[in-house]
Chains A and B, each alone.
Chain A
Amino acid sequence: MELRSTNESNNTLLRSIDWLTVILYLIMVVAGAVSIYAASYDYDGASMFAFSEFSGKQFLWIGLSFVIGFSLLLIDRRVYEAYAYPIYGVMVLLLAATIVVAPNIKGSHSWLVLGPVSLQPAEFAKFATSLALAKLFSTYNFSLKERRNFLRAVAIIVVPILLIILQNETGSALVYMSFILVLYREGMSGFVLYAGLCMIVYFVVALKFSATLTMGISTGAFIVFVIIMVLILAMLFIYCRSFILGRNVSLGYMGAALLVVGLHFLGVDINGYVFFFTVIGASLIYLLIGMFHDDLKKVLITVIFAVASIVFLFTVNFAFSKLQPHQQMRIKVTLGIEQDLRGAGYNVNQSKIAIGSGGLWGKGFLNGTQTKLKYVPEQHTDFIYCTIGEEEGFWGSAGVLLLFLILILRIITIAERQHTAFGRVYAYCVASIFIFHLCINVGMVLGLCPVIGIPLPFFSYGGSSLWGFTFLLFILLRIDAARKDYGAW
């Protein structure tokens, strides 16, 4: 009886597993190993499979990861749910122990050395944290709107972040920020995302255009003021659905803009601060009066948003001056304000050269000069995307991006077809982690994000990260394969 049931379950497993994801996974790990071979290839030309080469080792890690993946599929999905907290607990202890035990490797204490193998517990903490979050959200009658639940969720996320920061691996710690997407999906107000996005935009614009003046104030501040005005209007129309207020305010803004342009041609230039404070201030006062005829709360939020935006603008420079010099440098280099090709900008500049020199079809496998001659540092780990860009060109690098896009969209689809909150939340955790890695890693290589040292999943060299992502993905596949069992359980 027992035996037959297991057989049946295995047959169903083969049929109900999400093969598209498995195939994407296989393509990526193999492409990854080939890229690693190309990235670490020296003209002496050792075999791709030689264990002395990075690629040879990576093939070993891949083989082991198949074993891990297969084993994960054999475990009953209920085990993951039942042992979610214990797994999380063990991982937290491991992270804490690592801080003390791990040797100092380039200032970071994140590697556990077990004989010939070094492991990075932070990579494995990702799936553990995901399981714990999923478990929390699947408790009976759970609602994020209750502050207690919200704080619990935040605690589950913050504990590993703190421990990893203590290991001096800030990049890996930032990955956990991606869970904000999960919180959003599960009911956290979208306003948090909106506000966060606005803050980033204000920050980037204000700093990037700080060198020139418009209307007597920095161009950055000028553009931010204009953005704030546009956002006020957008919120009035879309969020408050108040067409009368929106129309009146936009007429007022347009009138003011025409007036200031007209005065400019007459030879009278008005100071930007005076202009924007007057115009935005007047519009906000008008809204405070007008809101009593309308959706009071939403208009009030709009006004508060506008005021907060202006306050934020003025704190940007102050906040920026509080950063460490090398952090300031990294941000400035990313924004293109500073050129520092010997220092902070060296990696990014060389990686842009590598990718840019690939052209449409690339230089061909093993023909990349930038990567072969070691101009790009960390080319087999964090900057592996350079090798693809240089040797396989636009088609190769765009293809990799599209593979990731398909994988992430597939995971979101899988998430939404789950019958349990546990399955859905876990799947979103996986999706969020992939989104974060893809955005930051590729963005960094393309010179669009600051340099944060995190790997490109399945492509970057390293057993820990490959196994970490394998854990994440195959647990998801196992949970998904069992979604039809839900009724029986």
Chain B
Amino acid sequence: MRKDYNLEKRKFVIGGFIVLVVAIYLFRLVELQLSDNKYKESADSNAFVNKTIYPSRGLIYDRNGKLLVYNQPAYDLVMIHKDVQPFDTADFCNTLQIPRADFEKRLAEITDRNKNRNYSPYIEQIVIQHLSAQDYGRIQEKLYRFPGFYIVKKIVREYNYAAAANVLGDIREVNAKDIENDKYYNPGDYTGDLGVEKSYEKFLRGKKGREILIRDAVGKIKGKYKDGADDVTAEAGNDLKLSIDIDLQEYGERLMQNKIGAVVAIDPSTGEVLALVSSPGYDPALLVGKERGKNYAKLVNNKYKPLFDRSIMAAYPPGSTFKPTQGLIFRQEGIVDLTTAFPCHRGYINAGLRVGCHGHGSPIALKPALQTSCNAYFCWGFKRMVDMKSKYGSVPKAFEVWKNHMVSQGYGYKLGIDLPGESRGFIPNTKYYNKMLGEGKWTAQSVISIAIGQGEILATPLQIANLCATIANRGYYYAPHVVKSIMGVGILKRFKEKHHTTIDSRYYDDIAEGMRMAVLGGTCRTANLPGWEVCGKTGTAQNPHGRDHSVFMGFAPMNNPKIAVCAFVENAGFGATYGVPIGSLMMEKYLNGKVTRTALESRMVNSNTIAYSGVKKH
């Protein structure tokens, strides 16, 4: 047998070929198994079904432990598109009693990424929200016939009182942006939308649980992965105890019906908000369940803007309620003492400018000026301070000192209430007037109306109530807040900090006394409440929207105060006509637990000022 050695070399070609192929396959194995985690994830997404277990959302109580908001189960029909297999559409639609065309349209909507940015065949998509009890029962029985469709139990909020919607807020389904910003959320989850539901979302929502199930290729669930060793139980959200007194809140809303405006009541000793009324309000139950979208649109389109929380979002000219701040600044800066008197001949008349006033004695000192709400006194005082070059050097420098005192009293910046959307109001500074009137071209005279809370000055009802609390406390305030305690957590740190004003506490007594005089024998005599030393200040705020706003701020008792109130009624005329009675009734209700001035009460409840409102914008 002859052996061809030339041909024997070909064993290297054949052997080399298989070595090469094995080498290529080894590289491929490295690529598949060692280079990335993608296949591991795919395998897990095949085999494991992560079932989310929703925690129950925190409940909300009022300050006296009355339950305001609680949870009710609701059932959503969802699908995981990847797992959906051909099914009997007719049977499905009959069971749920929906027209087939609607169902097909809904499916098309879900899978259209233009309309549903969160679409993924691997993630639960809501097909029908809030099944009725009957539908739930029927579909639950037949669900095994429709692989890929599941029932998810969700919660909806239920309300015991048709009040405090602006404080409580509501929950809504998360949108694409929420999901982007917070990994906690999946499509179909709920999140707080307004009120404390939004600001305390992270406490209320709790922690989601997870159950890992094993699923085979045909979609059959084979059991729990590792017998549930890796499962996570859901943690219920923290309950909230509001500082709101729901009875007082309801009462405030009743007094304010058919009026536009706000009522804020604060416990000065803690900064806790006792009532936060915005009128017109709405029933929080409107924003729950299937009808939410429709009702929400109605509220948005309502010309009185019920969703706009006037108590914290609306910035109004504070009018004469501003005057105590001026008295405090004048005393602190040594511009006036208690005997300093300014002339008032039915107003401040200077260099061709007249700021009108009403009849009272002249010249007039600080306390009587507060009692009678004299415009001239505060204009003269303001003029003396801002134009005092000998002390401050220049008008702008004097004005900055004035502005800083104002800011320290809680004006011009947000107070930091634990609700979304608070307005900061407005206190002008030197830069603002330099820009508006020209540098060096303005004096106290040019901006004199701000001395009486008009002109550029804007404040929210909350800021006015807070100012009142500051006076009640004689020089400090706690940032107002509506949550008294997060159960299991306590109160947020920032609400335990005392904010002192730049005014010495001793000057406050005179102001409180002036306000006491206003109640006893001045502008707000209606506020007098036998048994309590009530202090008050009216305001009649001129505004570009029509009739003057009727404003009142007051606190009681004069020493160791329990409540500070601001009532702000848009376009209702003199402070004394609506502001004072409403604020006073709120005090009576809170301090006495009941109201005996029933005639006054029914006059307020039955009056209507909405007709006078120049509803345009705020």
Chain B nearest CB: distance from A369 CB in Å? 4
Residue in A389, A401, A448 whose CB lies within 8 Å of B33: A389
- Decide if B34 touches A394 in the complex (CB within 8 Å): yes
Contact B14 A431 (CB under 8 A): yes
Q: Is B43 an interface residue (CB 8 A)?
A: yes
In this complex, which of A353, A390, A397 has the most chain B Cβ atoms within 10 angstroms of its Cβ?
Answer: A353
Question: B297 on the interface (CB 8 Å rule)?
Answer: no
Count, chain A residues at interface, CB 8 A = 51
| CA A252 to CA B216, docked complex, whole Å | 62
When A and B form their complex, what is the total count of cross-chain residue pairs whose Cβ atoms lie within 8 Å?
A: 129
* Beta-carbon contact of B46 and A356 below 8 Å: no
Q: Which residues A141-196 have CB closer than 8 A to chain B?
A: 181, 184-187, 190, 193
Q: Which stretch, B5-13, B484-492, B501-509, B580-588, touches the partner chain A?
A: B5-13
Question: In the complex the two chains form, is A402's CB within 8 Å of B22's CB?
Answer: yes
B17 within 8 A of A: yes
B229 within 8 Å of A (CB atoms):
no
Known contacts A358-B33, A393-B33, A416-B11; is-contact A373 B215 (Cβ 8 Å): yes
List the A residue with the shortest CB-CB distance to B24. Answer: A448
Is B25 part of the contact surface with A, judged by Cβ < 8 Å? yes
Stretch of B151-159, B170-178, B217-225, B387-395 that contacts chain A: B217-225
B40: contacting residue among A356, A408, A415, A438, CB under 8 A? A356
- Whether A446 contacts B28 in the complex (CB less than 8 A), given A355-B39, A389-B33, comes out as yes
Q: Does B19 contact A (CB under 8 A)?
A: yes
Say yes or no: A389 contacts B7, CB within 8 Å: no
How far, in whole Å, are A350 and B216 apart by their CA atoms in the complex? 13
On whether A412 and B11 interact (CB within 8 A), knowing A356-B38, A374-B216, A394-B30, the answer reads yes
B28 — which chain A residues lie within 8 A by C-beta? Answer: 446, 448
Q: How far apart sit A355 and B25, CA to CA, in the bound complex (Å)?
A: 12
- A375-B33 Cα distance, complex, nearest whole Å: 18
Among B1, B15, B214, point to the contact of A369 (Cβ < 8 A): B214
A369 x B43 contact (CB < 8 A): yes
Specify which chain B residues have a CB less than 8 angstroms from the CB of A408 in the assembled complex.
15, 18
Contact partner, A401, options B25, B32, B40, B223, Cβ 8 Å: B25
Are B11 and A185 closer than 8 Å at their CB atoms? yes
B42 CB–A CB distance under 8 Å: yes
C-alpha spacing A182/B265, complex, angstroms: 99
B222 and chain A: residue at smallest CB distance? A43
Residues of A within 8 A of B14 (CB): 181, 184-185, 412, 428, 431-432, 435
Shortest beta-carbon distance from B81 to chain A in Å: 12
| Residues of chain A contacted by B8 (CB below 8 angstroms) | 416
Total count of chain B residues near the partner, CB < 8 A: 39
Closest to B4 in A: A187
With A446-B29, A448-B28 known to touch, is A353 a contact of B11 (CB < 8 Å)? no
A369→B46 contact, CB < 8 A: yes
List residues of chain B with CB within 8 A of the CB of A398: 26, 29
B contact residues around A355 at 8 Å (CB): 29, 32-33, 39
B43:A401 contact, CB within 8 angstroms:
no
Q: Which residues of A contact B24 (CB under 8 A)?
A: 448
A374 and B11 in contact, given A360-B34, A394-B29, A446-B32 (Cβ under 8 angstroms): no
Determine the chain B residues whose CB is within 8 A of the CB of A442 once the complex forms.
25
In chain B, what residue has the closest Cβ to A397? B29
Q: For the complex, is A236 an interface residue (Cβ under 8 Å from B)? A: no
- Chain B residues with Cβ below 8 Å from A397 are 29, 33
Residues of chain A contacted by B42 (CB below 8 angstroms)? 353, 356-357
Can you list, as one digit per residue, whether each of B285-317 has a CB less than 8 Å from chain A (1) or not (0)?
A: 000000000000000000000000000000000
Report whether B46 and A375 are in contact in the complex, using a CB–CB cutoff of 8 Å.
yes
Report Cα–Cα, A190/B13, bound state, in Å: 10
B47: Cβ under 8 A from any A Cβ: yes
A308 at the interface (CB under 8 A from B): no
B 14-68 contacts with A by CB, 8 A: 14-15, 17-19, 21-22, 24-26, 28-30, 32-34, 38-40, 42-44, 46-48
Q: How close is A360's CB to chain B, nearest CB, in angstroms?
A: 6
Q: In the complex the two chains form, is A375's CB within 8 Å of B47's CB?
A: yes
Chain B residues near A401: list those with CB within 8 A.
Answer: 22, 25-26, 29
The residues in A between 333 and 359 inclusive whose CB is less than 8 angstroms from any CB of B are 350, 352-359
| A residues neighboring B (CB under 8 Å) | 43, 181, 184-187, 190, 193, 350, 352-360, 369-370, 373-375, 389-390, 393-394, 397-398, 401-402, 404-405, 408-409, 412, 415-416, 419-421, 428, 431-432, 435, 438-439, 442-443, 446, 448
Contact sample, A vs B, 10 pairs, CB 8 Å cutoff: A181-B14, A193-B13, A350-B46, A354-B39, A355-B33, A356-B39, A408-B15, A416-B11, A432-B14, A446-B29
- Which positions in B face A, CB cutoff 8 Å? 1, 4, 7-8, 10-11, 13-15, 17-19, 21-22, 24-26, 28-30, 32-34, 38-40, 42-44, 46-48, 214-218, 222-223
Contacts A360-B34, A390-B43, A393-B33 known; 7 new A-B pairs at CB < 8 A: A354-B39, A389-B33, A394-B33, A405-B18, A412-B15, A435-B14, A448-B25
The 10 closest A-B pairs by CB, nearest first: A356-B39, A357-B43, A369-B47, A373-B216, A356-B32, A374-B217, A357-B40, A353-B42, A394-B33, A375-B217
